[in-house]
């Protein structure tokens, strides 16, 4: 048997093919690890991000629909805004409230003997509803008192009666007049 030189045995066609395959697989493995693997990780993270963004998009779409609905309600109620401003004024407007009460008292034969302003907060607060308290003492008949209260509640400015005291007038013998003490609250912002 003849000895073949090492260089001839290494550089045979079969050895070259195996060497090429081994080098190709090594390069391909390195390529997979360093190039394709991060791309696959990025693809999966982007898919998850897409799902999350679709959820966020749905939430934002719902919020936009809610804002649109509120805007429509405001547009429909815009004509009624002056009525709200008249019902709950921006300032206490004590003189207007007293004038309103006096006007309907005169109309309904409610004789006011005494009127006091009890609670008025003149310090501006953070847009919460406050009230002016008017305490009225007077004399009237029952029917006139009922008419007075009905007209008081029909006025544009929102008023409530928080306290009502009715007693028979000791000074009036047979006239049927009642002694009335009313606590009227008017509201403002």
Give tens-digit pLDDT for 133-179: 889 999 998 899 999 999 988 888 878 888 888 888 676 656 678 89
Residue 67 shares a structural domain with residue 101: no
Q: Is 83 domain-assigned?
A: no
The two tokens of residue 128 are 């919460």
Identify whether 2 is part of a domain: no
Single out the residue of 110, 119, 140, 90 nearest to residue 184, CA to CA. 119
Contacts of 55 (CB under 8 A, 6+ apart): none
Q: Mark which of 54, 75, 96 sits at the end of a domain.
A: 75
Domain range for residue 11?
Answer: 7-75
The mean pLDDT value for 27-49 works out to 85
Q: How far, rounded to the nearest angstrom, does the alpha carbon of residue 173 sit from its chain's CA centroid?
A: 57
Q: Are residue 103 and residue 52 in the same domain, yes or no?
A: no
92 shares a domain with 66: no
Residues 113 and 66 reside in one and the same domain: no
CATH number, position 166: 3.30.70.60
For 144, other C-beta atoms within 10 Å of its C-beta total 19
**pLDDT score for 65:** 94
């Amino acid at each position: 048997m003849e000895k073949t030189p090492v260089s001839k045995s290494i550089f045979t066609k079969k050895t070259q093919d195996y060497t090429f395959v081994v080098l190709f697989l090594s390069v391909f493995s390195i390529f997979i690890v360093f190039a394709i693997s991060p791309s696959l990780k990025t693809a999966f993270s982007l898919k998850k991000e897409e799902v999350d963004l679709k959820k966020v998009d749905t939430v934002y779409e719902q919020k936009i629909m809610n804002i649109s609905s509120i805007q429509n309600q405001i547009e429909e109620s815009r004509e009624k805004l002056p009525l709200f401003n008249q019902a709950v004024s921006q300032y206490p407007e004590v003189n207007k409230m007293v004038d309103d009460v006096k006007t309907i008292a005169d109309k309904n034969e409610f004789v006011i003997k005494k009127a006091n302003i009890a609670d008025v907060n003149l310090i501006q607060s953070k847009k919460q509803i406050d009230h002016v308290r008017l305490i009225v003492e007077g004399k009237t008949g029952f029917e006139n008192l009922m008419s007075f209260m009905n007209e008081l509640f029909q006025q544009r400015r929102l008023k409530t009666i928080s306290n009502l005291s009715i007693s028979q007038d000791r000074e009036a013998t047979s006239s049927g007049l009642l002694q009335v003490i009313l606590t009227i609250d008017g509201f403002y912002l």
